[in-house]
Amino acid sequence: MRCNLLFYITLLSSCLLLASCGKFITENGKASYYGNEFNGKKTASGETFNKNKLTAAHKTLPFGTVVTVKNISNGKTVKVTITDRGPYAKGRIIDLSEKAASEIGMIDQGVAQVQLKYRKKKK
């Protein structure tokens, strides 16, 4: 009986540990993308912006955070790295590089409804 109890306690502890390790945060909102006039300029992280890299700007996420961006209208996704601050347009949650915007099919409309997914910050 004692062996069974120890087994179940160990099993439960393992499940709780694994569940807490894989936490993701999601955000929903509008995405836009950087115009050509920003290509070659310094970002808030100190990197030079390159419209042909998979990068993005977010108001609060730490630089280097990898975010999966899903275009709600077509289901396409892209992974980007946060290298800048913004967007500053009201109601927008992320500014994508041109390459990232192209990969999720939002170039023509300029703004798209998206879902962001990223790992919960460790405490």
List of domains in the chain = 23-119 (2.40.40.10)
Identify the band that residue 23 occupies on the pLDDT scale cut at 50, 70 and 90.
confident
The mean pLDDT of 58-65, rounded to a whole number, is 96
The answer to whether residues 55 and 84 touch, using CB atoms and an 8 Å cutoff, is yes
Q: Global pTM?
A: 0.80
- CA pseudo-torsion sign 57, 30, 116, 98: negative
Q: What is the mean pLDDT of the chain?
A: 86
* pLDDT exceeds 90 at position 117: yes
The mean pLDDT of 38-67, rounded to a whole number, is 96
Q: Are strands 112-119 and 66-71 parallel, antiparallel or unpaired?
A: antiparallel
- The token pair at 107 is 């170039």
